[in-house]
Structure 1
Amino acid sequence: MQSSAEQLVAEFLREYRASGTYLRGHVARLAELASSQDDQVAESATRVLFASLVEPLADSFDPVAVTLYNRAFAQIVQICRRNPAALLLDERLNRFGLQSEEHLIARAESLRVVSDLSAHNELARSLQRVIILSRITLGADVAITSVIIERIKRNFPLAEIVLAGGSKAAQLFGGDPKVSFKEIGYSRAGTTIARLLTWINLLECVRELTDGLNPAEYLIVDPDTRLTQLGLLPITGASEKPQWVTSSGHHRVTTMSEWSGYLFFPSREYGSATSQSLAELTSAWLDQAFGETVTT
């Protein structure tokens, strides 16, 4: 079964690279294997799916690969959500108005535009809590998450900072008195559906951490984490749009993704034409998002 999944991935990538043809049937078959009711089949196919397709696309640092990932993984999610074991996944996605593959793709594509939080001076006066999602892997948390934490501490000194992730993230940042932790496990050895259902736990975590806060009082920072499957799965909606009073007395709504309380770092393509390190690119992205230049 593993060789069959490997063959599907190899043929899919070979054809796409050669002609740009998207072999939809191959992705569908991969998703079916990865969501099989036979755990052995599902786990085997999931290992191939992530190791040979998902992770190489995520690590390629290429805008074309981002487009392909969004398309392929949206199709995979759409197939998996029909599985009886994924009823909660389907229900929660429907609550966000994401009924179709096209909805998932459109939302993911919208995140590729850097959000504008240049009005963060107004936000700083109302923001009570910033939830930063871990990148799961230790190396990425060192290179990316640590830079985000330091900038949030600088720009929002009065806000509570909560890092959501695994125990390794808690150990890495445990010496920082400004950071508290909310543990969310993400198994890199489970089936595709099991990995997707981690998102349900994340939603519950976010609900708890934002309970009693209005949208102007919290910010969620997603550094392109596997917890949201690289931004493909939503955390907040944009139905509530808070207003801030500027120094001139006028109300304004920021353009922060129509303000959903959510900030996404498109790490797989931001600055892809440069030779900067991930830490440098993270800092540059924060500069752009906050409309400032901070020397690091």
Structure 2
Amino acid sequence: MEPSVYREKWSALKNAPGNEDALSQLARQIAFSFVDRYYQDGLYRAEYIDLLCEMATSFSDTQFNNKASSALFEIIVEELCDDYEEMPVEIYSRVMSQVISYCRDVPEGVALDRRLTDFGISTFDDLYNRANLVHSRRYTYGAGRPPEKIILLSRVTIGADVAILSVMIQRFMKMFPDAEIVIIGNAKLEGIFGGNPRIQMRRLSYARGGGLFERFSSWHAALDILQTEMPPETEQNVLLVDPDSRISQLGVLPFTHSDNYLFFNSRKCDESAKHSCMAELANSWMHDVFGAGDFCHPTIWVPSGVRLRARRITESLRAAGCRRIIAVNFGFGTNPRKRLSDDFEIELLREILKDPRTVVLLDRGFGRNELLRSASLIADIGNRGFHASVACFEDSQYPRTSHGIIGIECAIGEVAALIAECDEFIGYDSACQHIAAAAQTPTLTIFAGSNNMDFIRRWSACGDTQCKIVHVNTLADPGHVDTDEVIARIMEERSGKAPGAVEPAHKIPEIKPPRRTGKQAKKAVDS
């Protein structure tokens, strides 16, 4: 439908507010029309974006504004981010530059406009051209005075920070042993990286489900942090690394006036990146920018007290006669398409527990919906005759059973520590697959919700251990996924003897070793 028709509908809704469902439906129709026109003929119809921006900034009630901003980000922005083709990267920059340019001109955008002006950015073209330069520039680091401080922006999602930031940090620690390392990101990262004394955390939140100005507020917060961590007179002694972070809206928003800004383009789509996962891309980028160095698998640094408690929990189970402990996580982040079904999850757990002296540690998840789902799974397994219980990571009594399922309520760092002590991890594409691989726990990921081969390869887990996937096509006919067939494939992958390391079928840079598929390496979560 043409923008003019949508504008008439918007005018009617704007003058008679109160119908959230109608507002949400209209915003989604506008967003889908933008995508339809782009897919059909490659045309960029700016009118659709302007209309969504207007809808997202017109109400005093943020709940109404958020309907349009959600449609804009979920349908357009996220789609462009996950495509991994050259054109969507450029279109993303155009969309985000247009959104930011619109927002700086409305009353709520005074601070946004002022800060952009401070960076010499006054127009859409200024912002758009800068973004294209950031994304296409080849970054190099001159061999001069080593940096006194290295600041890394969080990717916002835990899994991406494990897959990318942990690789960069390991290599930075080797190259610059005296440099201070600072991460700007969510407090939850302290549970994943807090065991490394060289890492300092500066807390910052990102409103993934918020309105336009809420999303941009993290940029303002990061600039405030940088004023103390990187005053103008010290910029030349500091490296600022942007790993394609949402905080900068994937490199569109600026952070520094100097040349100390390095951008990692995780959406790189040339031939050299076609068959690489994020950890491999991060190693290649470090190689290109800083020179040759040893390949680093992702890792985690869980605080020692948490690691010790997790070890005691699993030791208690093994002392009770348990022979194999399997960590399971059925979380899927903010994308429900990554999940299969209740029946699948129940039947998979039953199949796993057919092996005697096996204990499943089920992460109960976060939020009301995940807790309800995990409670239902645990109750169902108990009704089928297996031991089923729940526990909290901090409980004074350690669980003791040799067979069954235990639902564990714990924070992300505690989940990581438990996974590191388990013999195996199974779950959907989420943060925990990256944590498991980083902890050198054999990892099997159920990949659903995408048939984009580049996306699946890019986000496959990477670790010094077995990392396997079972892909499930839930897009063609989501109502008729053969649960028994999927479970059979999972069990076959689990039981099959892993072959020795083989040469990969595709050509890879010298820095990248072949994925290891041999016997699990010695676990070292605190390596």
- TM bucket normalised to smaller: 0.7 to 0.9
The structure whose residues are more often helix, as a share, is 1
**Which residue of structure 2 lines up, in the alignment, with residue 253 of structure 1?**
none
C-alpha distance in 1 between matches for 2:144 and 2:280: 26
Q: Which amino acid aligns with 1:290?
A: F
**Which residue of structure 1 lines up, in the alignment, with residue 292 of structure 2?**
292
Q: Does 1:207 align with 2:227?
A: yes
**Number of aligned positions between the proteins:** 272
C-alpha distance in 2 between matches for 1:212 and 1:118: 20
CA contact (8 A) 1:115 1:263 kept: no
Percent sequence identity over matched residues?
34
C-alpha distance in 1 between matches for 2:74 and 2:139: 34
C-alpha distance in 1 between matches for 2:139 and 2:242: 15
- Aligned residues: CA RMSD: 1.5
C-alpha distance in 1 between matches for 2:178 and 2:220: 29
**Which residue of structure 2 lines up, in the alignment, with residue 256 of structure 1?**
none
Match of residue 109, structure 1, among 132, 157, 166:
132
**Which residue of structure 1 lines up, in the alignment, with residue 266 of structure 2?**
267
**TM-score, normalised with respect to structure 2:** 0.50
Aligned counterparts, 1:164-203, within 5 A? 164-203=184-223
C-alpha distance in 2 between matches for 1:15 and 1:67: 16
C-alpha distance in 2 between matches for 1:212 and 1:71: 30
Secondary structure (helix, strand or coil) at the match of 2:74 reads helix
C-alpha distance in 1 between matches for 2:96 and 2:155: 18
Structure 2 gaps, min length 5: 1-22, 297-527
**Which runs of at least 4 in structure 1 moved beyond 6 Å after TM superposition?**
none
Which protein has greater RCO, CA pairs closer than 8 Å, 6+ apart?
1
Change (3 A) 1:177 1:271: farther
Q: Does 1:22 align with 2:44?
A: yes
CA contact (8 A) 1:129 1:162 kept: yes
C-alpha distance in 1 between matches for 2:228 and 2:138: 25
Secondary structure (helix, strand or coil) at the match of 1:198 reads helix
CA contact (8 A) 2:103 2:109 kept: yes
C-alpha distance in 2 between matches for 1:123 and 1:69: 36
Q: Does 1:52 align with 2:51?
A: no
State the shift of 1:123 in Å.
3.3
C-alpha distance in 1 between matches for 2:262 and 2:178: 19
**Which residue of structure 2 lines up, in the alignment, with residue 100 of structure 1?**
123
**Which residue of structure 2 lines up, in the alignment, with residue 8 of structure 1?**
30
Q: Does 1:122 align with 2:112?
A: no
Secondary structure (helix, strand or coil) at the match of 1:123 reads coil
C-alpha distance in 1 between matches for 2:173 and 2:288: 17
State the shift of 1:215 in Å.
2.9
Q: Which amino acid aligns with 2:245?
A: T
**Which residue of structure 1 lines up, in the alignment, with residue 94 of structure 2?**
71
Match of residue 154, structure 1, among 174, 177, 182:
174
C-alpha distance in 2 between matches for 1:290 and 1:123: 13
State the shift of 1:263 in Å.
0.5
Structure ID, larger Rg = 2
**Which residue of structure 2 lines up, in the alignment, with residue 133 of structure 1?**
153
C-alpha distance in 2 between matches for 1:21 and 1:113: 22
Change (3 A) 1:212 1:52: closer
Secondary structure (helix, strand or coil) at the match of 1:236 reads coil
Q: Deviations over 1:122-178 (max 9, x none)?
A: 131xx2111111101011111111111112112111110000001122221111111
Change (3 A) 1:132 1:270: farther
C-alpha distance in 2 between matches for 1:283 and 1:182: 25
**Which residue of structure 2 lines up, in the alignment, with residue 248 of structure 1?**
none
CA contact (8 A) 2:139 2:262 kept: no
Q: Deviations over 1:60-104 (max 9, x none)?
A: 222211100000110011111112112101100011111111111
**TM-score, normalised with respect to structure 1:** 0.88
Q: Deviations over 1:225-249 (max 9, x none)?
A: 00111110000013xxxxxxxxxxx
CA contact (8 A) 1:86 1:197 kept: no
CA contact (8 A) 1:123 1:216 kept: no
C-alpha distance in 2 between matches for 1:118 and 1:292: 12
CA contact (8 A) 2:152 2:184 kept: yes
Q: Which amino acid aligns with 1:28?
A: D
C-alpha distance in 1 between matches for 2:285 and 2:269: 8
Tell which deviates more after alignment, 285-294 or 26-35: 285-294
Match of residue 61, structure 1, among 80, 84, 90:
84
State the shift of 1:293 in Å.
4.4
**Which residue of structure 1 lines up, in the alignment, with residue 503 of structure 2?**
none
Q: Which amino acid aligns with 1:234?
A: P
**Which residue of structure 2 lines up, in the alignment, with residue 84 of structure 1?**
107
C-alpha distance in 2 between matches for 1:118 and 1:293: 14
State the shift of 1:41 in Å.
2.0
Secondary structure (helix, strand or coil) at the match of 1:135 reads coil
Secondary structure (helix, strand or coil) at the match of 1:17 reads helix
**Which residue of structure 2 lines up, in the alignment, with residue 223 of structure 1?**
243
CA contact (8 A) 1:271 1:281 kept: no
CA contact (8 A) 2:241 2:262 kept: yes
C-alpha distance in 1 between matches for 2:150 and 2:291: 19
C-alpha distance in 2 between matches for 1:19 and 1:228: 30
